[in-house]
A and B are shown apart, each in its own frame.
Chain A
Amino acid sequence: MECDMAAQAGGRSGRLRLIHGARGAAARPRRLGPMADLDDGQLVALARNNDVVAFEVLYRRHVGYALNLAVRIQGGVTDVEDITHDAFLRAHARLGELRDPAAFRSWLGAIVVRLVRTRLRRRRLLRAVGLGAPDPVDLEAIASSEAGPEARALLAQVYALLQTVPPDERIAWTLRYVERHRLEAVAELCACSLATAKRRIQRTQRYLAEHFVTPYAEEST
């Protein structure tokens, strides 16, 4: 994962890309002062009392996670800022409902997943009645500029196949194999049982494995 700021020439086009990592963004919070050193549980307690600075620290600490989650589940950046914005707003409005303040990150992740799932289902419904085309796979949004052609081809093919998978299964698989969450965390983020999460992941994995075509000859991989 890229972090901080990296500049890299962008291949044949020679364009320069600046990559800003989430930790880079979090590393320079404005006017946050010593609150940046507090843990999530303490910050949640302060934010519940309408401390905006505490909430901003929480935001800057976890916004990268929320943005990446939305982009990687969706396969593109369409509406991710709206999703992230709404997720934090909901989180702020419902901080009182959070039983374990230290678990803010996974709780926020579950909100993001729910919002993305709603969007994916809505898009699927629109498509089913002929009112929308599937979102294109935005490879530039998913693949790092450091990713080689093999990795880019892999991501493009996987995300193209994921577009044909029902949203719940797509989300579970992405959380497990792209975001690398443990099965228990996947179940928690998907708000389903562990068995259901496993079933969704296995079904998607089987489907992807059946349809995946390796883009390079074996001797070159």
Chain B
Amino acid sequence: MSHSGQLPRVPTSVLRDAGTDERVERVWKRLDNDLAAGSPRVLLRASAWGWAPAAMVIVFASGVFVGATWIRDEPSPEATFRAEPLQPPAGPTANPEIRRESSKEPGEADQRKPTPRIHRTPVPVRELEVPEDAVSDPSIPAPAPAPAPAPVSGAQPEWQQLFYEGEFDRAREVIEARGGFDAVMVKASPEQLMLLSLLARSSHDDARAIDALRRVVSIYPEDPNAPDAAYQLGLLLRKAGNLPGAAQAFAAYRALSPDGDFSEDALASQIDAAIEAKEWKLAAHLTEQYAREFPTGDRLEEFRGEIAARAGAAPPAELESDDAALESGSGESRNEADPEAEPGATP
């Protein structure tokens, strides 16, 4: 089972060498030109031009600070009205185990930052290959696009600024003063939800971190943060022992980001979860899917060996024919092969 508190070493063998020939030559060409010109203007560029945006930033920050102070001190009736309809998500995002009462955070709706943090180029969403009822945790929503609340422009809330400054304890204090995590989460943007999940984890409150990540996946599935949120959610749920939930979160990650950095890890984690839950048929199906998508995957032989040893059946040929039956839409042969399998629980 995954756990926190142990940070593995970063082996140098897994690090890429950035000194490619092309890069080395490109830098040298520029350097050679500058040395030949014998001018210090590049240094001038590095220092003087570096200060120009900094000066602009300081001027802008002053304006933002004054504006934010003014807005915070005197919230307009209109702003208060706009904040009213924002409520915690109902239905699929609500986890009865960890859901808490939410309260409103006065005046913060107008301070949200509209621009999401972009981690990677958005990729098209594909259909899940795992059957919907194979892992049944109602607390994990299907990653179907849902209309997201329109973000409201404005400055960052105080807790977010404190977070970026590394003042996590003070950020938590501000959040508590504004009604607590739940209240802040209700009106948070996807980026803010990601930050809230980190803050919650820093105080070992995984349940709240899970809440925040769930909101990203369920309310903002098209946000660039959604795949990361789904992956982190899978890790945390597995850590909490919720294997079906973890598997579904990993499946959500793969649906949201089929070619993402962790798609192989996510599928492997789904297989791990299926093996741990002794869902042998599901594990076998996912393993074959892993073999198709990642034919050189590091864990392919491990999974095949594990399934063969612990299930005591299912040679590859049978699994392939099972896959073929799945793809052709006939499910009867599965139940014949394993009459004890739960209906629909395995592909």
Contact = CB atoms under 8 A, between A and B. Distances in A.
Contacts of A52: 32, 35-36
B205 to A, nearest CB: 12
Interface string A106-150: 000000000100100010111111110110110111111111111
B57 A131 contact: yes
Given A12-B293, A210-B202, A213-B4, A2 B18 contact: no
A133 B115 contact: yes
B294 to A, nearest CB: 5
Interface residues of B, number: 84
B117 A133 contact: yes
A131 B60 contact: yes
Contacts of B36: 52
B27 interface: yes
A52 B113 CA distance: 50
B6 A214 contact: yes
A114 B105 CA distance: 41
Contacts of A104: none
Contacts of A19: 16-17, 20
B323 interface: no
B13 A67 contact: no
Nearest to B276: A217
Contact of A64 (B17, B28, B164, B294): B17
Contact of B235 (A9, A207, A215): A215
A220 B299 contact: yes
Contacts of B57: 125-126, 129, 131
B40 interface: yes
Contacts of B232: 213
Given A125-B54, A129-B57, A2 B26 contact: no
A11 interface: yes
A97 B204 CA distance: 49
B147 to A, nearest CB: 24
A216 B294 CA distance: 18
A3 B21 CA distance: 11
> Interface residues of B: mostly helix, strand, loop or mixed?
helix
Contacts of A154: 8, 10, 14
Given A12-B296, A88-B31, A212 B6 contact: yes
Contact of B42 (A11, A21, A89, A213): A89
Nearest to A60: B24
A110 to B, nearest CB: 16
Interface string B54-65: 100100110010
B13 A1 contact: yes
Nearest to B295: A12
A1 B17 contact: yes
Instruction: For chain A, give the interface size range.
Output: 35 or more
A89 to B, nearest CB: 5
Nearest to B46: A86
A102 interface: no
Given A59-B31, A148-B298, A149-B265, A177 B117 contact: no
B54 A122 contact: yes
A86 B27 CA distance: 10
Nearest to A2: B17
B61 A213 contact: no
Contacts of A64: 17-19, 24
A164 B61 contact: no
A208 interface: yes
Interface string A78-96: 0011001110111011000
Contacts of B299: 149, 220
Contact of A89 (B22, B31, B115): B31
B60 A20 contact: no
A36 interface: no
B126 interface: no
B201 to A, nearest CB: 6
Interface stretch (B76-84, B91-99, B155-163, B333-341): B155-163
B6 A21 contact: no
Nearest to B263: A12
B153 to A, nearest CB: 10
28 contacts: A1-B12, A24-B21, A25-B19, A63-B27, A63-B28, A67-B24, A81-B23, A89-B31, A92-B35, A118-B50, A122-B50, A129-B61, A133-B115, A144-B15, A148-B298, A149-B262, A149-B268, A150-B265, A155-B10, A205-B7, A210-B201, A210-B204, A212-B4, A213-B4, A213-B239, A215-B269, A216-B2, A218-B3
Interface of A: 1-3, 9, 11-12, 19-22, 24-25, 52, 55-56, 59-60, 63-65, 67-68, 70-72, 77, 80-81, 84-86, 88-90, 92-93, 115, 118, 122, 124-131, 133-134, 136-137, 139-156, 158, 160-161, 164-166, 177-178, 180, 205, 207-218, 220
Given A60-B24, A89-B34, A213-B3, 5 more contacts: A19-B16, A89-B42, A122-B54, A149-B262, A217-B272
Which 8 A-B pairs give the minimum distances between C-beta atoms? A64-B19, A22-B19, A147-B14, A151-B14, A129-B61, A71-B18, A67-B18, A20-B21
